[in-house]
Amino acid sequence: MTENREQGPDASAPQGPRADQHPVPAYAGAAAPGAPQAGARAHWGPPPSPAPYGAGPTGPGGPPTLVEPRPRRPRPMTGIVAAALIAGLVGGGAGFGGAYALLGDGSRPSTTLTSSAAAPAANADPGTVAGAAAVATPSTVDIRVPLAQGTAEGSGIVLTADGAVLTNNHVVAGATGPISVTLADGTAYEATVVGSSPSYDLAVLRLQGASGLTPATLGSSADLQVGQQVVAIGSPQGLTGTVTTGIVSAFDRTVAVQGEDGSAVVYNGLQTDAPINQGNSGGPLVDLQGRVVGVNSAIATGSSESTGSIGLGFAIPVDQAQRVAQEILDTGAATKPVLGVQGNPAAGDGGGAQIGAVEPGSAAAQAGLAAGDVVTKVDDARVEDFADLVARIGARTPGEQVTLTVTAGGAERTVEVTLGSAPDQAASTTGGGRSPNTPFGQSPFGGN
């Protein structure tokens, strides 16, 4: 997936990648030099190795395939990139950075996000693309973020009338100055980061002095059906208020993207063929009633030189995004569920996620999981490799009980596990990372 960030001397005009530009500023398909390559901690909190999970070559020889359709088999290589537009980047350094600390005076009004029926669209038939656009466009914003080199541009979703806005973490990570947010009517505000969730690639902003905004109506991603029509709204290539349409293509796609600093983000994504391009990151994917069902985040591209949509877009399901956003609004930080095992995302033949080690006292240990066990399902969702396990667990909530289907020695059993919880402080290695040659388990990922 390519990050919807592009840079050039003129930050106001989108420009295509030049030979002297890093083709994938933040969510490169191949691992960045010096990035971790080996194992990963098998609970959700610590993301897996940023090494590719597909069958393609890595490094300068070609971008790997990071999203694996089912069944797994060789196919043309694509790169997965985030969808934020960066203007002015020369030679890399876009900076998919770490989590932000809470900004402001620490006082937070009580805010509760709710799902409800969408209001009828004015001058547009409800249940149509035009009706959905009329409902959702006033709640979609353009976000510009100054970076060390250039400006990042993405999209966002208005959550509250007093200026809480949801976007992707990769849109605002690495900000070096005031963030500018522009409403659909052209009104501009400065914004600060309330909190971020690196593991889910989400962040919440607060517009300074805002009131009377139009909050988006949040729907339910659990109620979606494959083939259902959806609409994406955002600022692709800086063209604010752009509306595109398509369908829900698939659920439970394991989406893995990597920043230049080696941080990895793995989530359980919603796939759509609605055209999503650089600049759509953080914007809404809505149903025909104008209800938000996903947060547009990443796209697959045909090659490292091509960064446009090829009909493979990925969004963070709104049910997951709403939980994370609510926690950030309430406390300034988010949590993530923890299983408590370690494994190697680069290993496996599609037959499940093999556990390499179980952390003492973890949820997995309490449930009786052991090294050598192979997890093939989380509830009814198939698990083909360790990246799948990370994504499936991450789609759950801390404290939730899940049923794992496990095989060991040819025998299959089911195990009930109550997931633990950890602060979502980073989606990267700790302690300066690890050597690509370090065996997994000796220097586990994560910060908890």
Higher pLDDT, 87 or 358: 358
Inform me whether the pLDDT recorded for 260 exceeds 70: no
Q: How many helices (H) and strands (E) does the chain have?
A: 5, 24
Inform me whether the pLDDT recorded for 250 exceeds 80: yes
Whole-number pLDDT of residue 60: 34
Percent of the chain predicted with pLDDT > 70: 65
Give the closest residue to 280 by CA, choosing from 1, 445, 7, 83: 83
**What are the tens digits of pLDDT across the range 170-225?**
999 889 999 999 999 999 999 999 999 999 999 999 999 999 999 999 999 999 99
What does the buried/exposed string (b/e) look like for 81-119 if buried means 16 or more CB atoms within 10 Å of the residue's CB? bbbbbbbbbeebbbbbbbbbebeeeeebeeeebeeeebe
Give 88-103 as a 3 state SS string.
CCCCCCCCCCCCCCCC
Q: How far apart are CA 37 and CA 146, in angstroms?
A: 30
Inform me whether the pLDDT recorded for 47 exceeds 80: no
Q: How far apart are CA 227 and CA 105, in angstroms?
A: 46
CB 290 within 8 A of CB 137: no
Band of residue 133 on the pLDDT scale cut at 50, 70, 90: very high
Higher pLDDT, 67 or 365: 365
**What are the tens digits of pLDDT across the range 228-239?**
999 999 999 889
**What are the tens digits of pLDDT across the range 73-84?**
333 334 566 655
Inform me whether the pLDDT recorded for 321 exceeds 60: yes
Whole-number pLDDT of residue 307: 67
Inform me whether the pLDDT recorded for 107 exceeds 60: no
Of 47-56, 186-195, 261-270, 338-347, the poorest mean pLDDT is in 47-56
Q: What are the CA-CA distances from residue 48 to residues 53, 72, 115, 153 (Å)?
A: 10, 19, 32, 28
Which of the residues 142, 201, 287, 388 is marked catalytic?
A: 201
Q: How far apart are CA 13 and CA 7, in angstroms?
A: 9
Inform me whether the pLDDT recorded for 90 exceeds 80: no
Q: What are the CA-CA distances from residue 291 to residues 212, 334, 392 (Å)?
A: 19, 23, 24
Q: How far apart are CA 359 and CA 2, in angstroms?
A: 34
Whole-number pLDDT of residue 110: 57
CB 120 within 8 A of CB 247: no
User: Would residue 43 show up in a list of annotated catalytic residues for this protein?
Assistant: no
Q: What are the CA-CA distances from residue 85 to residues 72, 251, 305, 350 (Å)?
A: 31, 26, 15, 34
Cβ contacts of 9-17, under 8 Å, gap ≥ 24: 9/88, 10/87, 11/87, 11/88, 11/150, 11/151, 12/87, 12/238, 13/87, 13/238, 14/85, 14/87, 14/237, 14/238, 14/278, 14/279, 15/87, 16/307, 17/305, 17/307
Whole-number pLDDT of residue 257: 83
Q: Alpha carbon 109 to chain centroid distance?
A: 27
Whole-number pLDDT of residue 84: 54
Whole-number pLDDT of residue 122: 52
Q: How far apart are CA 360 and CA 362, in angstroms?
A: 6
Q: How far apart are CA 95 and CA 149, in angstroms?
A: 9
Structural domains in the chain plus CATH codes:
1-29+66-333 (2.40.10.120), 335-423 (2.30.42.10)
Which of the residues 49, 155, 170, 428 is marked catalytic?
A: 170
Higher pLDDT, 247 or 7: 247
Inform me whether the pLDDT recorded for 243 exceeds 50: yes
Q: How far apart are CA 114 and CA 124, in angstroms?
A: 25
Inform me whether the pLDDT recorded for 433 exceeds 70: no
Which of the residues 281, 309, 428, 443 is marked catalytic?
A: 281
Inform me whether the pLDDT recorded for 95 exceeds 70: no
Band of residue 256 on the pLDDT scale cut at 50, 70, 90: confident
The secondary element (H helix, E strand) that includes residue 389 is helix 386-394
Amino acid code (one letter) for 123: N
Give the closest residue to 282 by CA, choosing from 424, 90, 141: 141
Higher pLDDT, 364 or 36: 364
Inform me whether the pLDDT recorded for 227 exceeds 60: yes
Amino acid code (one letter) for 297: S
Residues in the chain: 448
CB-facing half-sphere around the CA of 370: CA atoms within 13 A: 6
Whole-number pLDDT of residue 126: 83
Whole-number pLDDT of residue 115: 62
Whole-number pLDDT of residue 128: 95
**What are the tens digits of pLDDT across the range 326-383?**
999 999 999 999 999 998 876 767 899 999 999 999 999 999 999 999 999 999 999 9
Cβ neighbors of 435 (< 8 A, separation 6 or more) are 38
Neighbours of 149 (CB within 10 A): 18
If you average pLDDT over every residue of the chain, what do you get? 74
Helix, strand, coil percent values for the chain (each to nearest 5)? 10, 30, 55
Inform me whether the pLDDT recorded for 419 exceeds 50: yes
Q: How far apart are CA 411 and CA 396, in angstroms?
A: 26
User: Would residue 170 show up in a list of annotated catalytic residues for this protein?
Assistant: yes
Whole-number pLDDT of residue 309: 81
User: Is the torsion defined by CA of 269, 203, 318, 131 positive or negative?
Assistant: negative
Question: 37 in helix, strand or coil?
Answer: coil
Q: How far apart are CA 272 and CA 314, in angstroms?
A: 6
